[in-house]
Amino acid sequence: MSNQDNTNHNKPVIGISIGDLNGIGPEVIIYALSDQRILNMVTPVIYGSTKVLSYYRKLFKLDDFNYSQIKDLSNPYHRKVNVYNCWQEMVEINVGQVTPEGGQYAFKALESATGHLKSGQIDALVTAPINKKNIQSDEFKFPGHTEYITEKLEGKDSLMMMVDEDMRVGVVTGHIPLKSVPFSITQDLLRSKLKIMLQSLKNDFGILKPKVAVLGLNPHAGEEGLFGDEEETIIKPVLAETKKKGNLVFGPFPADGFFGSMQHNKFDGVLAMYHDQGLAPFKIMGFESGVNYTAGLSKVRTSPDHGTGYAIAGKRQANHKSMQAAIYLAADIIRQRKEADVSVDI
């Protein structure tokens, strides 16, 4: 019987790159996919190695976790966990340790999965955590997943957006040194990121008239130029022109008071100026179930909002809720995109 004869074959096919083999990626993938509810919603394809999965299945004594190896994506098993072998050789696994092999094979999985995402062989990609240092090579010279996937998908720009239920936080500048942030924020960059957020809230989340809050860069949002002038010269002009085109954008807000008074609950999206300004409060409120979503691309990519977790790898302490949430969000966005295609004037 053909694999396509299985029921529910219209489910989205979700690729999952295995991440660093020595981190918590493999185990959160296994535990997340052990939930039958996910298999009822999506067809998962793990990019990695059956040998690696076998190692972790034995380590955690999860004999009930089963998977099927596939050699191409034209005919996956729609009611099972599929595994696409990105290499055949045995790889030494050193749980909880940073090794060159961890980065090398994480890249092999990511490269293969991203290629299939671009060609349309999978509907979305969920990336398990990588180590941003040991994955660096002649083929991977990027700060992280977001930048690599954006380039490979030939995207003009993208937005790192953290999602946890109704909380969505994007960042204007992502993985760059803090000292570079003020020099990187321009009206053009802010305009681009704001447009991506507004369009994503409409097309990916089904919010017809999204309300977006924009944070200031400086303490107290500059205090009218007393603590810096980026709010006056860059942020406010962009917000003013965006409002004139009918978009509901507000700010700039002082970041501390904004999150401290829970004002984020009044908005569909929050645009922060730099990485920690947005991600620190987000992870306090949504660390176990938060998702990193790359908005603005032609394809869907999500990931858990945590890292490799070497310190807890192999100890049954890793929480798989964020991985599950990343898979569910990918499936939700795929379905939503089929129903909506709204352009934003900005």
Q: Report residue 47 as tokens.
A: 């990019």
> Which segments within 243-322 are labelled E, that is strand?
248-253, 269-272, 291-295, 300-304
Q: Report residue 283 as tokens.
A: 């992870």
Percent with pLDDT over 90 in the chain = 82
Q: Is residue 187 a contact partner of residue 234, using CB atoms and an 8 Å limit?
A: yes
Strand, helix or coil at 260? helix
Helix (H) or strand (E) holding 337: helix 321-339
> What are 1-31's pLDDT values in tens digits?
345 444 456 899 999 999 999 999 999 999 9
CATH 3.40.718.10 residue window(s) in the chain = 1-155+297-346, 157-295
Q: Model pTM?
A: 0.92
Asked whether residue 222 carries a pLDDT value surpassing 80, the answer given is no
157-295: CATH class: alpha beta
209: number of CA atoms within 13 Å, CB side?
A: 4
> What are 284-326's pLDDT values in tens digits?
887 778 999 999 999 999 999 999 999 999 999 999 999 999 9
Burial code of 234-243, b = ≥16 C-beta within 10 A, e = fewer? bbbebbeebe
What CATH topology corresponds to 1-155+297-346? Answer: Isopropylmalate Dehydrogenase (3.40.718)
Amino acid letter at 343? S
Mean pLDDT on 80-85: 96
